[in-house]
Amino acid sequence: MLRHIRASIVILLLMTVLTGLAYPFAMTGLSRVLFPAQAAGSLIEQDGKVVGSALIGQNFADDRYFQGRPSATTDTDPNDATKTVPAPYNAANSAGSNLGPTSKALVDRVKEDVEKLGGSASKPVPADMVTTSGSGLDPHISPAAAAWQVARVAKARNLPEAEVQKLVAQHTVSRELGVLGEPRVNVLKLNLALDAMAKR
């Protein structure tokens, strides 16, 4: 029996070293060599300073910027630790709202957002402008959501709409390999390009 216990302990230690240490270190090292930017968090730098990640959305409220999807992430209420408060794009608390299509709170929130955006039956708002993603951190919007915002951004920046639409087209990424995912626009990259255009 001692022989079986010894064999089990040896296998446990061996597998712990292989799968818990050797394999993760090897994959981390390999990814840093093959995909250095992605392995470092897909960070975006501007003037030598990190301004965000291409993988995590940010909260843009100013009319001069394109806005991402609503975010349902929360954080602890500083006044009452037993409650939470909205904290858009809180990467430390990635989550969806968990509200289903029959939820009155969800329906009311979506209706309110549609009204704020000026949507109507004849001018429907793109779904991703009023619905949250499962993670609450989605950095992308659809080309339709970007096109919806072109007039507002152009007016706030005093730019021709055609110029802003051209910038959106330049930052629209098509499906991976032509079939995976959906066409999308990275909001942070698009907004940085807008700021760069203003500096010219």
Are residues 128 and 69 in contact, defined by beta-carbon separation less than 8 angstroms? yes
pLDDT of residue 200: 65
In whole angstroms, what is the distance from residue 17 CA to residue 11 CA? 10
Are residues 94 and 137 in contact, defined by beta-carbon separation less than 8 angstroms? yes
pLDDT of residue 21: 93
pLDDT of residue 149: 94
Taking alpha carbons only, the member of 162, 123, 169, 124 closest to residue 146 is 169
Long-range Cβ contact pairs of 39-43 (< 8 A, separation 24 or more): none
pLDDT of residue 135: 85
Q: pLDDT of the chain along its 200 residues, tens only?
A: 778 899 899 999 999 999 999 999 999 999 999 988 888 888 888 888 988 888 999 999 899 999 999 988 888 888 888 888 888 888 888 877 778 888 898 889 888 888 888 877 778 899 899 888 888 889 999 999 999 999 999 999 999 999 999 999 999 999 988 889 899 999 999 999 999 887 76
Are residues 125 and 112 in contact, defined by beta-carbon separation less than 8 angstroms? no
In whole angstroms, what is the distance from residue 37 CA to residue 31 CA? 9
Taking alpha carbons only, the member of 180, 106, 168 closest to residue 140 is 168
Are residues 58 and 68 in contact, defined by beta-carbon separation less than 8 angstroms? yes
pLDDT of residue 68: 92
